[in-house]
Amino acid sequence: MAKIKSKFVCTDCGTESPKWLGKCPGCHAWNTMVEEKETVVKTQGVGLRMVHTKEKAQSIIHIESGQEPRIETRMQELNRVLGGGVVPGSLILVGGDPGIGKSTLLLQTSHAMAVKGLKVLYISGEESVRQTRLRADRLGALTEMLYVLCETNMDHINDAIETIAPDFLVIDSIQTVYDPNVQSAPGSVAQVRECTAHFMRVAKIKGIATVLVGHVTKEGAIAGPRLLEHMVDCVLYFEGERHHTYRLLRAVKNRFGSTNEIGIFEMGEEGLREVANPSELFLSERPLGVSGSTVVASMEGTRPVLVELQALVATTNFPSPRRMSTGIDHNRMALIIAVLEKRIGMFLQTQDAYLNVAGGVKLDEPAVDLAAAVSLASSFRDAPTKPYDVIFGEVGLTGEVRAVSRAEQRVKEAEKLGFKRVIMPEKSLKGWKAPEGIEIIGVNTVSEALKAALG
């Protein structure tokens, strides 16, 4: 007879416990332990569930090497993030806020793959086939090789995979799929873990490139145990402000490429449109001759991007001044303010300071330090910066400006967009020649940069 067992599983990290605990012993999160009941039945596996492969260990020098074959889509931004295209047999996890455009992105990608002559199976557990057809009509994603199925039962999905034998598989979303052999509700930790493991075996054994859509928590992380991100080959986050038209596709894990690349799209009536020059998009609404506004040259993977930094320094009405930042690490902003106080002599202890990356982009590289310092000083002194200056460089605790990587690419991007001056670390000027038509000012300290930028 079947034996029913009860256990408690953390919804964040997947830690199991025989009894309920208020605090998870694995990730130390509170109130994340939920009860799950599982039925243990001794049965023999069928189909892909019990696939046993017995291979012999071999020396690594005798293993054939070579580049993984890739399938390029018609969306170059997606190819950039994936490292050159979709790898057959790979398992990709895509997460994002509700309504951000995940289904739109994957339906356009499915259409692009089907146009190349590949069989695509799009399984939707949240929309009917008629709703998917209406979306496809709006996006112009109609082709004979794109198959759509509305199903959440794992056994029925297996039958469809066996019948159609697709080259590209989309599961939208993994939280809606359930395995009838697992005695848990759809979306639970056990169901998500088992279904993901099953699709991983399908992708590896049959060589099907599989994309799973995952829901996200209120903190922005993919819902379910962290085990999911370890099982898949690539984890992509689809980000963006709902009130803005642009979207960012960012890789946080990629076994076949870099995790520093981002893809930029713009949402329109006919779906997502690629943004070939993101610098023009982020600088399109930049005010000129305003204090606290600077332009920084940041690197997103191999691509230089020019972004506007805005700072506001105002007298506080509270005993403790406020320090708020959007798009830049809060601790990094506090460090820059401390350097301005200690090394430059600015009295900011009675001032509220706000720092914002215009457009909602997140910058996490140290090359934005110098631009942030100039923005804060410009707002504090109410001295506008020159509208055609680009600033970048890392700031040290002693007030020195340190060299950054790929300075030549940053300067070329600034020159291409019509900027006249670049204020950068002097140590980054070695080994390359600046293009004509743009002035390069090398600085060694923050005070030198402020003198050059603010006069």
Condensed to tens digits (0 to 9), the pLDDT of residues 181-202 reads 887 778 878 888 889 999 999 9
pTM, two decimals, is 0.76
Q: Quick one: 25 and 157 in the same domain? A: no
Range of the domain at 328: 281-454
What confidence category does residue 27 fall into, taking pLDDT thresholds of 50, 70 and 90? confident
Tokens of 76: 């170059």
Residue 360 sits in the same domain as residue 395 = yes
d(CA 247, CA 238): 7
Please tell me whether 99 is known to bind a ligand: yes
Average pLDDT over residues 365-369: 94
Alpha carbon 209 to its chain's center: 20
Which one of 276, 300, 328 terminates a domain? 276
- Which of 38-42, 90-94, 432-436 reaches the highest mean pLDDT? 90-94
Q: Is 5 annotated as a binding residue?
A: no
Contact (Cβ atoms closer than 8 angstroms) between residue 158 and residue 195: no
Region 368-396: what's the mean pLDDT? Answer: 95
Token pair for 168? 């590209």
Domain count, the chain: 3
Instruction: State yes or no: 100 annotated in a binding site.
Output: yes
Residue 101 assigned to a binding site? yes
Instruction: Decide if 381 is inside a domain.
Output: yes
Same domain, 301 and 265: no
Q: Which two tokens stand for residue 66?
A: 């070579």
Which amino acid appears at position 98 of this protein?
P
Regarding whether 286 and 261 lie in a shared domain, the answer is no
